[in-house]
A and B are shown apart, each in its own frame.
Chain A
Amino acid sequence: NAGVTQTPKFRVLKTGQSMTLLCAQDMNHEYMYWYRQDPGMGLRLIHYSVGEGTTAKGEVPDGYNVSRLKKQNFLLGLESAAPSQTSVYFCASSPFLPTKLDYEQYFGPGTRLTVT
């Protein structure tokens, strides 16, 4: 049971390049989330999904797109990277009906992205 995994762990992009971050979870969770973490700003929600085939915008969605074609995977895309997107990106998942009614989110290890 790997939990939540993220690929890649590190990436350097040039301005204007595109890339996709992959998040995978093996806990059969319905909900998945993408956050970015910047110094002094905590974690901010980019996009989230409440189930396979669904996505919704979070607090800071501009410049990002997402897809949830399979329940276990949640992809985050940057079509044209900008230096302002330099950040650490976290994926998280949560069960729809938490067995313990605890609403815990389970986080991946993060991806450090630098855009030059």
Chain B
Amino acid sequence: AQTVTQSQPEMSVQEAETVTLSCTYDTSENNYYLFWYKQPPSRQMILVIRQEAYKQQNATENRFSVNFQKAAKSFSLKISDSQLGDTAMYFCAFMKHPGTYKYIFGTGTRLKVLA
């Protein structure tokens, strides 16, 4: 069975600074997808970024980028130039592929961006 671990329950960062959220996972699968979702105080879950395991290149989306280390089973999220609107809960998720598109979520990291 797969597991996803987020070892940082809470973090804070100053506005305009960079912060990295960690995520590790355990799987025996060779092909899978990894995701970071953001949940702001509104509670709406929003996809931030995704990574396909067979792609060695790290995914980037504007100020968000990942450091995907397949051998180490690590998938960290870097947020550059942090903004107040980045304050949210961040969840890492794993999806086996192919499969039934089921996610396994980590327990989340609560990020607060300080003015």
Contacts and interface: CB of A to CB of B under 8 A. Distances in A.
A50 to B, nearest CB: 6
The B interface is mostly helix, strand or loop, or mixed, namely: loop
B103 A102 contact: no
Contact of A103 (B42, B43, B50, B106): B50
B33 A103 contact: yes
Contact of B43 (A42, A102, A110): A110
Given A42-B107, A90-B45, A103 B95 contact: yes
A107 B105 CA distance: 14
B20 to A, nearest CB: 19
A42 B50 contact: no
Counting chain B CB atoms within 10 Å of each CB, which of A40, A88, A104 scores highest?
A: A104
A94 interface: yes
Interface residues of B, number: 23
Nearest to B103: A105
B11 to A, nearest CB: 15
A88 B100 CA distance: 23
Contact of A43 (B9, B91, B97): B91
Interface in A74-103: 88, 90, 92, 94, 102-103
Interface in B31-72: 33, 35, 42-45, 47, 50
A79 B42 CA distance: 29
B107 A44 contact: no
Interface of B: 4, 6, 9, 33, 35, 42-45, 47, 50, 91, 95, 97, 100-108
Given A35-B105, A104-B47, 9 more contacts: A31-B100, A40-B9, A42-B91, A43-B91, A44-B105, A45-B104, A56-B100, A102-B50, A107-B44
